[in-house]
A = this chain, B = another copy of it.
Amino acid sequence: MGGSVFGNIFKISTFGESHGEALGVVVDGMPAGIRIDREFLDREMARRRPGQSALTTSRSESDHVEILSGVLGDVSTGTPVAMVICNTSQRSKDYSELEEVFRPGHADFGFFSKYGIRDVRGGGRSSGRETCARVAAGALAKMFLAQYGIRICAYAYEIAGIRAETFDIAEIEKNPARSPDPDAAVAMSEAIAAAHRENDSVGGIVKCFIDNVPAGWGEPVFDKLDAKLAYAMMSLGSVKAVEFGAGFAVAKMRGSENNDPMLPGGKFASNHAGGILGGISTGARIEFAVAVKPTPSIAQEQQTVDKDGNPRTITITGRHDPCIVPRIIPVIEAMSAIVLADFALLNRTVKI
């Protein structure tokens, strides 16, 4: 099992450690006849790439994707598409301390408890670097979904307590925070820089909306569309919460307020449901938000223990993003696309 395979029809199998030879993904179930847009793939990878702005880690990776199979000319053939991203910028630093000590806020202790062994170099498999394979697979999913006119857009709604108050979709990719509010973007960037100067990190909230998903996607009762999206979002190590539509606010609502009245033309008077009812898309905009925790790797002394259970302190040096939000945004879009591609294909099988 392992846990590195995701999806039913559009099925991805990812691999790779942050400081190993390479990372990558095999997409089994990519339909035949899709135009593979190399430039789009590169652009998606560039959005997640480390070193893209002053807000992210100074570690720079080209993150070039090599496509090994499944594509003939620029068209998918229906066979598995394997994509590999070679690691090029792993500093050969001394990891001997990490072999003995568990980093707070990291999966170190869990991995060691689980496997009795762990790859300490850069966090190994539990590093966020793993997500580059998801972005590559997500780019394929987006190419497939293009035929449905689906648009997926994630952005920084809140960083370090600063919220986007305005929404201009054209602004999102123009600022390093990926905020739709240019003023908030400036404040977010300053807050990230301040935290970094103080050897600390900050968290935030990413919002995502998806347009043009037809009514009827999602499989009752377990494989609800929102259930699978939540599964996909929570599979990101730094995500600690997810809500759809009105989310936690439904707790204080009454039914008469929360129910979205249906209007002629397949429209709704409101969208507290976030475009999903009973796990099936309604045709309305799909909306969700996720909470992203502050980067656990911080360059200040923290209390921890070693393998023998003795108290220790640790100061994590190295190049880490002081805020995960800007670079997780393309990953959230990618995982959304992967989930939707799977449901699009599954939905072809539900009727005579």
Contact of A113 with B by CB under 8 A: yes
Which residue of B79, B158, B217, B349 contacts A220 across the interface (Cβ within 8 Å)?
A: B79
Which residue of B16, B68, B125 contacts A22 across the interface (Cβ within 8 Å)?
A: B68
Residue of B nearest to A24 (CB): B82
Interchain CB contact under 8 A, B351 and A15: no
Which residue of B111, B246, B261, B311 contacts A304 across the interface (Cβ within 8 Å)?
A: B261
Interchain CB contact under 8 A, B1 and A200: no
Contact of A252 with B by CB under 8 A: yes
CA gap between A281 and B158 in the complex, in Å: 28
Contact of A247 with B by CB under 8 A: yes
Residues of B within 8 A of A276 (CB): 110
The number of residues on chain A lying at the interface, defined by a beta carbon within 8 Å of a beta carbon of chain B, is: 157
CA gap between A72 and B234 in the complex, in Å: 27
Which residue of B202, B260, B303 contacts A261 across the interface (Cβ within 8 Å)?
A: B303
Interface bits A222-247 vs B (CB < 8 Å: 1, else 0) = 11101111111111010011111111
User: How far is the CB of A254 from the nearest CB of chain B, in Å?
Assistant: 5
Contact of A286 with B by CB under 8 A: no
Interchain CB contact under 8 A, B230 and A234: yes
CA gap between A80 and B266 in the complex, in Å: 28
CA gap between A294 and B351 in the complex, in Å: 32
CA gap between A273 and B231 in the complex, in Å: 17
Q: Please tell me how many copies of the chain the complex holds.
A: 4
Contact of A262 with B by CB under 8 A: yes
Interchain CB contact under 8 A, A263 and B311: yes
Q: A72-B117, A224-B234, A349-B348 are in contact. Are A309 and B266 (CB under 8 A)?
A: yes
Interface bits A265-306 vs B (CB < 8 Å: 1, else 0) = 110010011101111111100000001111111101011110
Which residue of B79, B229, B352 contacts A124 across the interface (Cβ within 8 Å)?
A: B79
Contact of A186 with B by CB under 8 A: no
Interchain CB contact under 8 A, B79 and A2: yes
CA gap between A106 and B220 in the complex, in Å: 13
Q: A77-B119, A256-B300 are in contact. Are A262 and B104 (CB under 8 A)?
A: yes
Interchain CB contact under 8 A, A106 and B277: yes
CA gap between A70 and B220 in the complex, in Å: 12
Interchain CB contact under 8 A, A351 and B31: yes
Interchain CB contact under 8 A, B203 and A256: no
Interchain CB contact under 8 A, B350 and A114: yes
Q: A2-B80, A256-B298 are in contact. Are A351 and B32 (CB under 8 A)?
A: yes
Residue of B nearest to A279 (CB): B237
Interface hub of A14, A215, A257, A352 (most chain B Cβ within 10 A): A352
Interchain CB contact under 8 A, B69 and A17: yes
Interface residues of A in 296-349 (CB under 8 A from B): 296-298, 300, 302-305, 309-311, 345-349
Interchain CB contact under 8 A, A222 and B6: yes
Interchain CB contact under 8 A, A230 and B242: yes
List 11 contacting pairs A-B, 8 Å CB cutoff, sorted by A. Answer: A5-B11, A31-B349, A33-B117, A111-B220, A222-B231, A240-B243, A240-B246, A242-B243, A254-B294, A261-B302, A272-B293
A21-B66, A110-B278, A248-B291 known, 7 other contacts, Cβ within 8 Å: A2-B78, A31-B352, A227-B231, A229-B234, A241-B241, A250-B293, A251-B292
